[in-house]
Amino acid sequence: MTRAILAASSAAVGGVLALSFTSSPAAAQDGPCGGRYTVRPGDTLAVIAQQCRVPLAEILRANPQIRNPSLIEVGWRLTLPGAGGPPPWRGEGRERLEATVTPRAGPSGLSVDLRGEGFEPYQAVEVAVGRAESEWDVVSRTQADGRGRVSETVQVPRWADAGDDLVFVLIAGPGREARTQRFDVVDRRDPDAPPNAGDDRRVDIRGEVSQGAECPILTTDDGRVYSLASSGAADVRTGVRAHVEGRVVDMSYCMQGTPIEVGLFRVTGEDGRQVPLRREQVLGRWTPRGGDCRRPALHIRGNRAGGQMIETSLDGAPRTGYVRLGENPAFVFDQPRREFGLEPRRANGLAVRPPDRGPVRLGGQWISGDGVVFIRCAEEFVGGGRR
């Protein structure tokens, strides 16, 4: 409730008491979060703006110390100007929201594009998926743009079976969601599948990688040539045999053979198997690429039994798990069980892939799509600078 200071004059004019009201400085600070907010683990600016009812643009203007809206640190004290105003949502309800999915059919594991319209500018939006007549699971979180539009790419869940009807849902709050048309799950090998179902121009190839004229190229054992352009999720190496998954693109500065954007790059041996991840490649403290080694997201250490333990957070809660090495390396957590596939990236990088049940927040990072690359921190920089 807005407070006010009531000031009464000591003299009545015409028998009427003269009153004046002055807004208290606290009047603008009565929102859900007050005039200041301390960043907590798992927070993003979009989430803070939504729950504190302050437009994201105003938070950025009031906090010039934020140079990158995607990088905020736990413990920061943020100024919230004008907190206490009406919620950012001012729409008519779910009737004004729209959502579409492209393509409309495909197998489990297929990447699909979601589009939404009618949301509030910069509004936080959850992305969920489930069977048409069942409950939905949230698989990622995103944010509408300045025109209230949502654009997100997600995968058809691995648990989906051929014949399932799925819906994807964009959720802006209780009772404020938009459902897509039904998505038909098909068998990748089904000859009667709709045109392009399961064929979103993805490729799965193996061969020798060398340096081409503009980009690295992969030459398969039967002589086909592909130009490899990294999407940022994969570090392409030359002079090795590799297993590559990616998407064919129409336009590319890589002109040799068929150009593809690489989503997954695995170094393999002569037998085609992935080169096993070794113990010395995982021990240490790790931060997401571009992160801060003063606050490592993962700590992997050895134990007396010769294993490797990982200490981090899972969906915002502290968790301890173990690291499985060998030909199928993974971070493994129990109760509930989660396995995050691992792949080496150059000398000091480690790619972490999402579990089969969909994206999960690990070490404060959403692990989705092609995964997140973590970089090992030099011990001299861990915990607050050079030692």
- Fold adopted by 202-268: OB fold (Dihydrolipoamide Acetyltransferase, E2P) (2.40.50)
Supply angle C-alpha 201, 145, 155, rounded to 5.
30
pLDDT in tens, 138-166: 888 888 877 788 888 888 888 888 888 89
Supply angle C-alpha 75, 81, 83, rounded to 5.
90
Rounded to whole angstroms, how far apart are CA atoms 348 and 373?
10
What is the CATH code for 31-79? 3.10.350.10
> Could you tell me if 186 and 162 are in contact, meaning their C-beta atoms sit under 8 angstroms apart?
yes
129-133, 185-189, 197-201, 252-256: which range is least confident on average?
197-201
What is the CATH code for 94-185? 2.60.40.230
Q: For the chain, what are the domain ranges? A: 31-79, 94-185, 202-268, 279-381
The pLDDT of residue 294 is above 80: yes
**Own/partner pairs for 87-94, CB < 8 Å, 24+ apart?**
87/53, 88/49, 88/50, 88/53, 88/55, 88/120, 88/122, 88/123, 89/120, 89/123, 89/172, 89/173, 89/176, 90/120, 91/118, 91/119, 91/120, 91/176, 93/175, 93/176, 94/175, 94/176, 94/177, 94/178
32-46, 184-198, 257-271, 323-337: which range is least confident on average?
184-198
pLDDT in tens, 350-371: 889 888 777 888 998 888 877 8
The pLDDT of residue 181 is above 50: yes
- Spell out the alpha helix ranges (H) of the chain: 45-52, 56-62
Q: Which pLDDT does position 320 carry in this prediction?
A: 92
Taking alpha carbons only, the member of 268, 267, 259, 265 closest to residue 225 is 259
Rounded to whole angstroms, how far apart are CA atoms 330 and 314?
15
Rounded to whole angstroms, how far apart are CA atoms 363 and 297?
5
Do the domains at 31-79 and 94-185 have one common CATH topology? no
Measured CA distances, 366 to 136, 246, 372 (Å): 19, 21, 8
Rounded to whole angstroms, how far apart are CA atoms 355 and 342?
11
Fill in the DSSP letter of residue 378. Answer: P
Phi and psi at residue 125, to the nearest 5°: -135, 135
59-73, 176-190, 192-206: which range is least confident on average?
192-206
Q: Which pLDDT does position 311 carry in this prediction?
A: 94
Rounded to whole angstroms, how far apart are CA atoms 51 and 143?
14
